[in-house]
Structure 1
């Protein structure tokens, strides 16, 4: 059977395969954070906090480079091949982490795993967008719920595995499912018809489109198949605006996930309250993702993303005010709904607003530049906390970041209907 025409399945199964890949991606992205207390604690810690900071930072650097490079490779090699290799790569290197003997080895394996982790998300979004039958917003945000499911799975597995089998078992648990998923994707995941059409492989594209009930459109910019297209008219303005917005969006996601408990402790809510608020924030994220895509498909992805960033900014500013628990809990839940799904709407807008020839490249660049925000966010939050102004000024700063994301996105142009 042709590698571009695997056994015919429904577009929903394509989305499911990509969703599972994002679940594994989410697990591997947060597993190190879940293990740091164990690795740095006890009478004889496996590594120091400074060494843990090095490992976590180098992991994000690898993810940044992975998002930039694999997104480009995807538009040249194909969505299917890039997706399978991304899953296999981060699974193999996560397995290697289980056998690391020192923090340098662990940092090296996490850095290399980052190439697969960083490339998985933009490739998955590109795939589900093209098999979504015109529902790009719903498809993109639905597949991103996998990230938060993976994060929850990490916490649950940590409760079960760490006391009995130790920290190495966590890396094994994150790696093994990928070795099952990669062959399934190789068998069942089709190549993108839009990619094939952009490459001039019209017969293959038409065959797959017919199998999956898709409507093919002629590539309007087939000649733009390199990263340089993003730096030229008509995409340059959008590229810059999307990169700024992604930087701001991921800065907020990573800063809040890292520092929200500490900020809430500083506000007098207590450590237990801070942890519950972190849980509520991520629960809100899942609900927000399910709603955001549907709103985006109804009113347009750009207006929806603008609304989400603006609402997120208002809610972040409101959290600077100390309030009773019955009001605080729903406020934090709503903050997660808007802040954590705003960036996913940017990905959906990026996917829907670029032609197939550079779609994954545009997504990869958006995710890659956004990873710089992911590195900046925890550093910014830590600086504010160390200065003793995390609360309330931290929330004011984060509100301004959300507002800047909205302003940048407002300067983009819409090239395709629905975006």
Structure 2
């Protein structure tokens, strides 16, 4: 039976009335479906990001190019992600979450498929940049949509679950790449990835629901009809007119709004936390296999180091999401990030032993668990009309760290700085990220 609303007028319930009912009921099939599709899109994100790493050795061998030239391709992808997060993602607050996710899927799928036919480093770099645009905006858009459909009491868990699709996609695509590339070549891997992305486009179109928060607060064309279609699917009574929304929350989306209404300190703290987390995270994901080999592990075990790291990451993300609902978001994230540094500082005690794989798994558990929690902070910190803008710029700040971490790591390794020293150096940004998370002040972030 459809619920009735407590209204303050004879015509329409308020926005708070509707949100109160959604927050205090079990998730509907539509909410589960929306979260699943968002999770799936982030799996594709993880696949698209890591596919260049899996195929790089084969490309370098076939084209006889240097590591420095491949570095240009890696950088093009990261720059695309930063641009997508900072400049494409904010358009989500204007055109809607579903529309942007659809655009991103087309960008990602088209560019990944086209990469299979690249004939030069320039073409490869262009396709990676375009793919990066979609990846950067996809992460921000899916985070916002998941947060707006999840009940407040379990929002942190569901947002973390959605983002956990990223390392899961990286892990599974690595398994596929290990089978496909040696037998069928690197181009086949891009064809398969492009087809996988294309398959999700009808899923987005037919299964993904637009955000009710977005419809209520931005009032696009046919907003009432679209809202009622969604609400009936959720088991809610349809509306006779759009709900009451305070006028001050219907301001146009803008970059400057990230620093108004008491959000300035929180925004800066969030950017610092994202930047520093990305420095540590991308150093680890880029160099773990080589650093593991440098400790004396066999090549096979060194390769497994990356797999163990990603397995630990997935477990850490889900654990963080659960604990954040129990003990508070900032406290859990800050603790995870600082524990990352402590684990990295103990590297010398495990160096040269198979137990170093256990350490890599624990580091992945903590760094990814803490880092992904920052998406939940951003989703809670910003109101609907600027939510994707806020998440996007935070991710963009982080992507700059994603450039710094691997480059600095490569420089230090090239200078023969010991693996132990590298782990100590890159543990420090994790501490800064943890402290920055602790000091974020927002009435909406526990």
Q: What are structure 2's unaligned runs of at least 5 residues?
A: 1-27, 238-242
What is the deviation of 1:322? 3.7
Given the superposition, is the C-alpha separation of residues 262 and 121 from structure 1 closer, same or farther in structure 2, using an over 3 Å criterion?
same
Asked whether 1:30 is paired with 2:50, we answer: yes
Q: 1:117 aligns with which of 125, 135, 144?
A: 135
Q: What are structure 1's unaligned runs of at least 5 residues?
A: 1-7
Say if 1:79 and 1:127, in contact at 8 Å, map to a contact too: yes
Say if 1:84 and 1:186, in contact at 8 Å, map to a contact too: yes
Say if 2:297 and 2:352, in contact at 8 Å, map to a contact too: no
Deviates more, 1:307-316 or 1:47-56: 47-56
Query: In the TM superposition, what are the counterparts of 1:229-268 in structure 2 within 5 Å?
Result: 229-268=257-296
Bigger radius of gyration: 2
Post-superposition CA distance 1:280-317 (Å, at most 9, x none): 11110011011110111122211111111111111111
Q: Aligned equivalents of 1:390 and 1:251: distance in 2? A: 18
Q: Aligned equivalents of 1:40 and 1:105: distance in 2? A: 15
Alignment partner of 1:392: what SS? helix
Q: CA RMSD in A?
A: 2.2
Say if 2:280 and 2:427, in contact at 8 Å, map to a contact too: no
Deviates more, 1:122-131 or 1:382-391: 382-391
Given the superposition, is the C-alpha separation of residues 270 and 360 from structure 1 closer, same or farther in structure 2, using an over 3 Å criterion?
same
Match of 1:154 in 2: 173
Given the superposition, is the C-alpha separation of residues 214 and 246 from structure 1 closer, same or farther in structure 2, using an over 3 Å criterion?
farther
Asked whether 1:398 is paired with 2:426, we answer: yes
Q: Aligned equivalents of 1:166 and 1:34: distance in 2? A: 11
Post-superposition CA distance 1:210-242 (Å, at most 9, x none): 533689895663325211101334111111111
Asked whether 1:81 is paired with 2:99, we answer: yes
What is the deviation of 1:399? 1.4
Q: Aligned equivalents of 1:37 and 1:280: distance in 2? A: 21
TM-score in terms of structure 2 length: 0.86
Match of 2:159 in 1: 140
Q: Aligned equivalents of 1:338 and 1:224: distance in 2? A: 37
Say if 2:297 and 2:354, in contact at 8 Å, map to a contact too: no
What is the number of equivalent residue pairs in this alignment? Answer: 409
Q: Aligned equivalents of 1:217 and 1:410: distance in 2? A: 35
What is the deviation of 1:365? 0.7
Q: Aligned equivalents of 1:168 and 1:329: distance in 2? A: 31
Match of 1:188 in 2: 207
Q: Which runs of 4+ in 1 moved over 4 A?
A: 213-220
Q: Aligned equivalents of 1:256 and 1:13: distance in 2? A: 33
Asked whether 1:375 is paired with 2:393, we answer: no
Match of 1:295 in 2: 323
